[in-house]
Amino acid sequence: MKGYDFQGPAVELGALVREDGTADAAEQIRIPLAMLNRHGLVAGATGTGKTKTLQVLAEQLSAQGVPVFLADVKGDLSGLAAPGEPSDRVTARAAQVGQAWRPAACPVEFLSLGGQGAGVPVRATMTAFGPVLLAKVLDLNETQESSLGLVFHFADHNGMPLLDLKDLIAVIRYLTATPEALRGIGGLSAATAGVILRALTGFEAQGAEAFFGEPEFDVRDLLRVTGDGQGVVSVLELPAVRDRPLLFSTFLMWLLADLFQVLPEVGDPDRPTLVFFFDEAHLLFDGASAEFRRSIVQTVRLIRSKGVGVFFVTQTPDDVPAEVLAQLGARVQHALRAFTPRDAKALKATVSTFPRSGYDLARLLAELAIGDAVVTVLSETGVPTPVAWTRLRAPRTLMAAAAPEVVAGVVAASPLSRKYGTAVDRRSAYEILAARLAEQQPAAPPARPAPEARSGRAGTEPEGRRSVLDNVLESKEFRSLARSAASALGREITRSIFGTARRGRR
């Protein structure tokens, strides 16, 4: 098809489908490799073939030396680590689209959030994650988000690393009891602190403690290439946390924001540094503030110059804000079903986002077969290509979840397992506060149990069982620490678009 005859290297999507529904193997639909940092969208109703499209894209990018990051929400994408299985359906599809199919596995790295599930643990420190993304996870309003920002500001400028949840909780309790610590830059009301603490408690009850801490994941480990020149496909396994969609979608945004901070400017390379597939993208935008959306738009717009291409994966383009959609150069739209008035409205909105074409897109999108899609991309000169009804290629990797022993073998052999496998709990804000405050308390003999405790009355805790921090939070010395905290020598942390830590990290 005219418009898809590119000169440089390209990713092969499939073959053009004629009006009679037959694929023309002579007319190949491609995406120029150099245009993949212009971002893209893979959309379609459940069961229409989005996962297979991701496999096809990941396989070819890896084969051309481009590292890939994928979030595997349902566990299907683990099959990238195993060769595909021949079948009549695969043979027929390959023949239709002119594909020389043979089974092959990709070099894969399995990751998991905090080690919950199969994969190398991926953790972030609270300091690095920052107040903006954390406020999104906790569903805080703008006032509460601003107050949380003050907490991070205080910790940043007073040498108190926030590594995990207990560090953040300790600092919030400290600032609530000593409001003078924030004098001159605002304050933290008891009511707002109470809301944040309750949200953190609920967050902790969901098992979030495992996601925050050290060793913190270095996003540059997503950029690996094997000795024979294949890009490593990093698959973040999410089935164990699929019931916490807001958490993992925001965690993906942290990875993207961190990539933006650590990668150098590369201008317009002939191939991407990394292609990042952002699955369940609508979860990131649901309930997001205008400022949060602006931050996403800015990150997507600017990360292109770092060589990173971002593909949002969701059900309809309507799930992605217009200002983000405008940044996406490639579109692979699978079928949309119009079973309800809401579906019909979404279908109409989707049609309006495509360039003009000779297709009746409303009808075509509603009738597309599984594995077919409507495609438009940017040519090598940056011009949108004609809209093309495309029959997609068959993945060469396994179109199902890989066997548990395959995943376990990959994880055991990974050099990242040795780097991130064991959690570390070094001295941080909680220990610093406890130690400083304990130093200001005069030595005292061990406290005797209260009469109620000696008599075994329920609901009373012996004094000796309380933590050091619990004791000093109520002391006069605790308040005096606030007056000296501002002069503490600590690292200054410059925060990025999303409030993530930019430097001073360990």
Give me the CATH number covering residue 29.
3.40.50.300
In a domain, 162, yes or no: no
In a domain, 425, yes or no: no
In a domain, 478, yes or no: no
C-beta of residue 354 within 8 angstroms of C-beta of residue 376: yes
In a domain, 287, yes or no: yes
Query: Token match 């996403």: residue?
Result: 296
The Cα 274–Cα 224 span in angstroms is: 9
C-beta of residue 497 within 8 angstroms of C-beta of residue 295: yes
What average pLDDT does range 353-365 have in this prediction?
92
The Cα 335–Cα 49 span in angstroms is: 9
The pLDDT assigned to 491 comes to 46
In a domain, 68, yes or no: yes
Mean pLDDT (the chain) is 86
Say whether pLDDT at 36 is over 80: yes
Residue-wise pLDDT tens digits, 155-202: 998 889 999 999 999 999 988 888 777 776 677 888 999 999 999 998
Q: In which band, very low, low, confident or very high, does the pLDDT at 267 lie, cut at 50, 70 and 90? A: confident
| Consecutive H or E run containing 9 | none
CA-nearest of 109, 91, 110, 118 to 396 is: 91
Residue-wise pLDDT tens digits, 206-217: 778 889 999 999
User: pTM for this structure?
Assistant: 0.86
Task: Tell me the three-class secondary structure of 172-203, residue by residue.
Answer: HHHHHHCHHHHCCCCCCCHHHHHHHHHHHHHH
| Consecutive H or E run containing 290 | helix 290-303
Residue-wise pLDDT tens digits, 116-130: 888 999 999 999 999
> Which is it for strands 308-314 and 40-43: parallel, antiparallel or unpaired?
parallel
119 phi-psi bin (left φ>0, alpha ψ -120 to 50, beta other): left
The pLDDT assigned to 493 comes to 64
What average pLDDT does range 300-312 have in this prediction?
94
In a domain, 71, yes or no: yes
For the chain, the domain total comes to: 1
CA-nearest of 21, 83, 109, 19 to 414 is: 109
Amino acid at 28: Q
Domain enclosing residue 85, as ranges: 10-123+214-420
In a domain, 293, yes or no: yes
Say whether pLDDT at 442 is over 90: no
In a domain, 345, yes or no: yes
